[in-house]
Amino acid sequence: MNVSGLYPQVRPVGKTTGSRGGFTLIELAFVLVIVGLLLGMGAELLPMLVKQNKLKETRATVKEAKTAIIGYALATGRLPYAGSATGGSENSGTYRGYLPFATLGISGNDAYLQTLFYAVDPYLTVTTSTDEFKTHLGELITGAHPGGLFCDGGNIHAAVVVLSSGKNFCVDAPNDDNHNDRLDNADNYQLEKPGAPETASYDDILEAVSLTYLFGRFE
């Protein structure tokens, strides 16, 4: 009896007769090595890209906050006090603290989901008209009234400074002086230079509005 017709024909595994229908083990191993290398590169590349993106986003957010602060001064003839807490409102008599983002009408978080920080020259928070504001700016520029906010070791006479604590979530020296990792009234009125390079101990992202620049915006 012929039984061969009752069973399906089974092709021998691993044989590559005639046209090729699959991978050899060596090809497969090669592909796996390549995939492994690509995955390894991706695993290294992705966190780097995320890090770069957060830095870029935060730089843009700090710049936007600076623009909003200038707009507020032009519209109201004063600069807001800083906030003593993260809620976004200003607190009278607070000159170094959190960005009063609700007062400014903007969102106040950086890409690391931390509230931005803010410092202001006290003499510019007490004015009630744009004319008086300009007068105070002029007095600060000429030195008729002593300046209350400086960046870059005193090289920049600033009206206002806004900063992100950066990826280490801490405000760093020389912005923070009392080592509580945030900006507050107990810190002095000397802050870092805008665009200062990142180091092992400094990663804050800081923008300043100089007195002369702000005065020019009123002309």
Q: Under the rule (CB under 5 A), what is the footprint of Ca ion?
A: 165-166, 168, 170, 172, 174, 176-178, 180, 184, 187-188, 190, 203-204
Cα separation, 69 vs 137, whole angstroms: 15
Q: In the bound complex, what is the minimum distance in angstroms from residue 166's beta carbon to Ca ion?
A: 4
Residues 6+ apart with CB under 8 A from 62: 110, 116, 162, 163, 164, 205, 206, 207
- Whether the CB-CB separation of 106 and 63 falls below 8 Å is answered with no
Nearer to Ca ion, 110 or 187 (CB): 187
Cα separation, 139 vs 126, whole angstroms: 14
Q: In the bound complex, what is the minimum distance in angstroms from residue 173's beta carbon to Ca ion?
A: 7
Nearer to Ca ion, 45 or 85 (CB): 85
Q: In the bound complex, what is the minimum distance in angstroms from residue 205's beta carbon to Ca ion?
A: 8
Cα separation, 119 vs 186, whole angstroms: 12
Nearer to Ca ion, 79 or 82 (CB): 82
* Residue whose CB is nearest to Ca ion in the complex, by number: 166
Nearer to Ca ion, 96 or 136 (CB): 96
